Amino acid sequence: MNRVKKFETVEAVITDDLEQACRGGVHTEFSPILKTPDEVVAGSSLFLDMVEDARILYDRDGFFAQWLARLRERLAQLGAKRLWQGNTWYGDLKPDFRPGEVFEL
């Protein structure tokens, strides 16, 4: 069974619980991120959100949690800041950036 099919099974099992939580005032949703280690290493801007906001429910061998921890550490080294504008945020990944400078996350 592939990863997507497995998640669909989980989703079906938790649907009633999520609806009950919603009626109780808890509004949440699951957003599965199904990536291979190579896909993770290739990077994604989504991971910038996940450094602060994600709750990992399943991470065989802890690979992704370790990867996010390294990203969090790198952002701290760069002095990255999360800046809020209304209900959304944007990242200043390197506040002391100079035009033409190249840096890696």
The token pair at 28 is 């949440």
The residue extents of the domains of the chain are: 1-32, 42-97
Q: What is the pLDDT of residues 48-96, one digit of tens each?
A: 989 988 888 778 899 999 999 999 999 999 999 999 999 888 899 999 9
Distance CA 64, CA 41 (A): 10
The whole-model pTM stands at: 0.75
